Chain A
Amino acid sequence: MKKALLVLSVMLLLVPPLFSNGAKETSTTKPVTLDVMFYSPELSEQYDDMVSAYFKETGVKLEITVLQTDYRSVLTSRINTGDVPDVFMSSAYADNSTYKDYVYDLTNESFISQIEPSALQGVTVNGRVLGYPFLVQSHSFIYNKKVFKDAGITVLPKTLKEFEDVAKKLQAKGIQPFATGFKEFWVLPQTAWQALAPSIGNYGGYEKFVASLNDGSLKFKDIKEMSQVFDLLDLIKAYGGPKPNESDFNDQTSSLATGKVGIIHQGNWAEDTIRKTNPEVEIGFLVGPAGQNAAAAGIMFDSNQTIRIAKDGKNLSAALDWLKWLTTSEYGKNWIPTKIKQMSPIKGAGAPDSQIAVETVGQLGAGVPGYPWFYQMWPTGTEQQLGSILQGYCAGQTNRAQTLDALDAAYSKIAKALQ
């Protein structure tokens, strides 16, 4: 008995120092490694560059897993098994609630004040900032300036009618007007929903619009402006070459770069790939038509890709330090404009020298409407599910009425996850 007590007391004496020792080691001496999960493998080189810069400056390592198509299933399974990454990515808007149980509230972090307020809209819920906007991106139609010039097109199109005229002119010159990108699940919705963006105001604004779709009081078949969407898709398909449903991102970028086609619907992120095929190409940004109203035609401009910090992670403070560095350090501020060559949400960050980014800023400055990516406000997964229904329309699987019904059916299935 005595012996046992002795052993116990010795153990009690030994254990606390062991523990505090261990804890100290992780916080001071042992280098911290942040466990990070990102998507966009096309940015791998830029991620690595940032990682080594941060390691050089601070000695903190980031171990980034970069995934694409299976990103969500892997993240879900890791969160489920309690293995939440210290830092991960998601969309803005709807994903604010998807990961609500796991993300850290950044509202009171000092560096948040360095972010452009407009970029924070998509990550703010009831005044709380739940994520860090990574990139500011824009999507609309991109055209090849030389092709337009050779075809004698001097006035850029703004309405559906004008787009059609341009397409006819290009075709007359033997140039395929559009490369559709319809094979990618994300290009179609981006193209389609842009045509609806100017009309959301008719349904009480974005929040009301999304809420009414979610509770079923608004149906796609009741949105008369859906005809603008179908008209636009029909136009692109009609002038989209012999295999409009097979055009993917690769096809779009390489055909535009080589001057095989005149117009694609893409975002500023496509420029890098376009230039890989043809570094000299001159490209520009067109507004997206919304029926025949030229004044409402605009570009889609938002920060959607969002960095989230795990609130229960053991490296929480290290993760916040990294975000702060990303926002305030010299390298961090220049990372997005000069290395990734896209637009940064940080106040006063330099502008990228890429043509599309420059034109985006120029057009918005000149009063062209910039619409938020409102389709990201729909419940998670809507983008892809509705996208494949629109793809079915383009492939002739469904007519307009059937497509509207299918959209409504799919939407209500997805919205059930919210109830």
Chain B
Amino acid sequence: MTSLSKKKLNKAGVFIGFTLPAFLAILLSVELPFLMSILYSFTKWNGLDKVPVFIGFANYIEALTDDPAMLKALWFTITLTFFTVIITNVLALLLAVILDSDIAGKNFLRAAFYVPNIISLIIIGYIWRFIYGNAFDSFFAATGLPVFMLSWLGDTHLVLFSVVIVSVWHSLGFYLVVYIAGLQTVPKDLIEASMIDGANPFARFFKITLPIIMPSVTVAVFHSLSNGLKAFDVIFSLTSGGPGSATTTIALDIYRTAFVINRFGYGTAKSVILFLLILVLTFFQVRMFKQMEVEV
């Protein structure tokens, strides 16, 4: 009996020994500061004055009932995320299938698609600003194609796609790796068997490959979804949220509320709302995708 409880205790000790360091690190760098910030969300504070003023839920009420600019930013963020998640994942999966097949120069091609992922998003924003501007002008001068004369960053509708293109360009390589990894778990004999059965490549992909790599899809979509909803860097340097408010994401709106108009407490309240939104959306996404894994 004593030895058993000792063993139990020992086991708990080992559990704590293995997990506590990581837990403390996360507590220190993320959870504690986030909890502190939540406290600020109940205050009126400009981020500078020595004493914040407690105002209860007023910031939350203002955000939810009296902030059309935030709702607009929220809607844009959801639209942007919708497009980037779908386009990134479909393209990455398609390319992964090609790059997992028997073609020459695989490693070089994989590296080629991965390289943009190595550059920081802020810098990527600047590079593409340069491309949509100076480079497109030169392209137009050289080719006369009207597509280069469109105002990619100045047209309020087109700019959504300009941002999507850049986001996809940047992140495709990462998801490509995730999907290639997934494809390598598909047993070769299963594929060969279906080839003998004469199933066409599309049927083979949807009936056999996709179900097997569904866990990769779950992870990739989860990752792109939560990154999309937090989108900030690329917008910051590419469009600064403009023209007008056309590409202002919720993260940029929060940043401006806290640091440009100095309503730090209010900005924090909005960020708590964003956190809850991401939590709920990703929760349902993962649950939905997990069910698909089971059904097929």
A and B in direct contact, judged by CB atoms within 8 A = yes
The reply to whether B260 and A391 contact each other, CB–CB distance below 8 Å, is no
The reply to whether B240 and A185 contact each other, CB–CB distance below 8 Å, is yes
Q: Does B242 contact A (CB under 8 A)?
A: yes
Q: Does B197 contact A (CB under 8 A)?
A: no
Closest A residue by C-beta to B49: A101
Q: Does B151 contact A (CB under 8 A)?
A: yes
| CB proximity of A375 to chain B, nearest CB, Å | 14
The reply to whether A381 and B260 contact each other, CB–CB distance below 8 Å, is yes
The reply to whether B260 and A392 contact each other, CB–CB distance below 8 Å, is no
Q: Does B244 contact A (CB under 8 A)?
A: yes
Q: Does A245 contact B (CB under 8 A)?
A: yes
* A residues near B245, Cβ cutoff 8 Å: 388-389, 392, 397
Partner-binding segment picked from A71-79, A208-216, A217-225: A71-79
Partner-binding segment picked from A4-12, A13-21, A292-300, A408-416: A408-416
* A residues near B154, Cβ cutoff 8 Å: 182-183, 243-246, 395
A179-213, CB < 8 A from B: 182-183, 185
The reply to whether B259 and A72 contact each other, CB–CB distance below 8 Å, is yes
Q: Does A329 contact B (CB under 8 A)?
A: no
Q: Does A398 contact B (CB under 8 A)?
A: yes
Q: Does B56 contact A (CB under 8 A)?
A: no
Size class of the A contact interface (CB-based, 8 Å): 35 or more
The reply to whether A398 and B244 contact each other, CB–CB distance below 8 Å, is yes
Q: Contact check: which of A98, A185, A394, A414 meets B48 at CB < 8 Å?
A: A98
* A residues near B260, Cβ cutoff 8 Å: 72, 380-381, 384-385
Question: Which of the listed residues B47, B133, B261, B263 has the most CB atoms from chain A within 10 Å of its own CB?
Answer: B261
Q: Does B262 contact A (CB under 8 A)?
A: yes
A78-133, CB < 8 A from B: 79-80, 98-99, 101-102
Q: Does A417 contact B (CB under 8 A)?
A: yes
| CB proximity of B152 to chain A, nearest CB, Å | 8
The reply to whether B48 and A397 contact each other, CB–CB distance below 8 Å, is no
Closest A residue by C-beta to B67: A413
Size class of the B contact interface (CB-based, 8 Å): 35 or more
Q: Does A231 contact B (CB under 8 A)?
A: no
The reply to whether A397 and B50 contact each other, CB–CB distance below 8 Å, is no
A359-385, CB < 8 A from B: 379-382, 384-385
Q: Does B241 contact A (CB under 8 A)?
A: yes
Task: Tell me whether A385 and B240 are in contact in the complex, defined as CB-CB below 8 angstroms, given that A76-B48, A243-B154 are known contacts.
Answer: no
Q: Does B256 contact A (CB under 8 A)?
A: yes
The reply to whether B256 and A391 contact each other, CB–CB distance below 8 Å, is no
| CB proximity of A273 to chain B, nearest CB, Å | 15
Complex CA gap A224/B54 in Å reads 39
Q: Does B64 contact A (CB under 8 A)?
A: no
Q: Does B69 contact A (CB under 8 A)?
A: yes
* Mask: chain A, 345-360; 1 = CB below 8 Å from B; 0 = not: 0000000000000000
Interface SS of chain B: loop
Complex CA gap A101/B262 in Å reads 15
The reply to whether A395 and B246 contact each other, CB–CB distance below 8 Å, is yes
Q: Does B155 contact A (CB under 8 A)?
A: yes
* Mask: chain A, 245-265; 1 = CB below 8 Å from B; 0 = not: 110100100000000000000
Q: Contact check: which of A389, A398, A417 meets B46 at CB < 8 Å?
A: A417
| CB proximity of B182 to chain A, nearest CB, Å | 38
Closest B residue by C-beta to A77: B47
* Mask: chain A, 282-312; 1 = CB below 8 Å from B; 0 = not: 0000000000000000000000000000000
The reply to whether A245 and B243 contact each other, CB–CB distance below 8 Å, is yes
The reply to whether B243 and A392 contact each other, CB–CB distance below 8 Å, is yes
The reply to whether B149 and A395 contact each other, CB–CB distance below 8 Å, is no
Q: Does B79 contact A (CB under 8 A)?
A: no
Q: Contact check: which of A242, A381, A397 meets B243 at CB < 8 Å?
A: A397
Complex CA gap A45/B241 in Å reads 31
* B residues near A379, Cβ cutoff 8 Å: 261
Q: Does B156 contact A (CB under 8 A)?
A: yes
B61-78, CB < 8 A from A: 67-69
Complex CA gap A118/B112 in Å reads 59
The reply to whether B244 and A385 contact each other, CB–CB distance below 8 Å, is no
* B residues near A248, Cβ cutoff 8 Å: 133
| CB proximity of A225 to chain B, nearest CB, Å | 22
The reply to whether A395 and B48 contact each other, CB–CB distance below 8 Å, is no
* B residues near A391, Cβ cutoff 8 Å: 242-244
* B residues near A384, Cβ cutoff 8 Å: 256, 260
Q: Does B153 contact A (CB under 8 A)?
A: yes
B101-136, CB < 8 A from A: 132-133
Complex CA gap A337/B212 in Å reads 71
Task: Tell me whether A381 and B244 are in contact in the complex, defined as CB-CB below 8 angstroms, given that A242-B151, A243-B154, A246-B154 are known contacts.
Answer: no
Q: Does A393 contact B (CB under 8 A)?
A: yes
8 cross-chain pairs, A with B, having the tightest CB-CB distances, nearest first = A392-B244, A245-B154, A381-B261, A395-B243, A246-B154, A397-B244, A381-B260, A73-B259
Which residues from chain B sit less than 8 Å from chain A, CB to CB? Answer: 46-50, 67-69, 132-133, 149, 151-156, 236, 240-246, 248, 255-256, 258-264, 266
Q: A99-B48, A385-B260 are in contact. List 18 more A-B contacts (CB 8 A).
A: A73-B258, A76-B259, A182-B154, A183-B154, A243-B149, A243-B151, A245-B154, A245-B155, A246-B153, A246-B154, A251-B133, A388-B241, A388-B244, A392-B245, A396-B156, A397-B244, A410-B69, A413-B69
Name 8 interchain pairs, CB-CB below 8 A, sorted by A.
A183-B243, A246-B151, A246-B153, A380-B262, A392-B242, A395-B243, A413-B263, A414-B263
